[in-house]
Structure 1
């Protein structure tokens, strides 16, 4: 049960962190080059 739960939670965290990273990069780039 714990293994299955981890298997579900980890990709969600990775996706959220990925979107947050892309958003931060886009925001910094927009701030620098505006």
Structure 2
């Protein structure tokens, strides 16, 4: 976001538009964190 001159929010929206995940979690890590 910093190098593209977009706010973090705008950059995340652009990534989402192109199907690029903002967070790269392994399913096991995500499940473990959700159970905390």
Higher relative contact order (CA 8 A, sep 6+): 2
Structure index of larger Rg: 1
- Give the alignment's TM-score, normalised by structure 1: 0.37
Question: Which is richer in helix?
Answer: 1
TM-score, length of structure 2 as denominator length: 0.35
